[in-house]
Amino acid sequence: MAGNQAVSTDMGVGLSVLFVLVAVVGAAVTFATPGTEIAAWGFATAVVAGVLAITATHLYSN
């Protein structure tokens, strides 16, 4: 007899780790080039990647 099987994925964790790494790079760019437009883009990248990391965790949670 066939039973029910639950299939889980780690995609949420993997995407979260990826976006956190992108956020760290964005924060490093902000820290390395203070007071420039590049720093602003680094900050924006860090914020957006942080939001996407949290979103991925919530979307792919079981």
Query: Which residues have a Cβ under 8 Å from the Cβ of 46 and sit 6 or more positions away?
Result: 22, 23, 24, 26, 27, 30
Q: What is the pLDDT of residues 13-42, one digit of tens each?
A: 899 999 999 999 999 999 999 999 999 999
Q: What is the spatial distance between Cα 33 and Cα 61, in angstroms, rounded to a whole number?
A: 36
Q: What is the spatial distance between Cα 22 and Cα 31, in angstroms, rounded to a whole number?
A: 14
Q: Are 26 and 46 in contact (CB under 8 A)?
A: yes
Q: What is the spatial distance between Cα 33 and Cα 55, in angstroms, rounded to a whole number?
A: 28
Prediction pTM value = 0.81
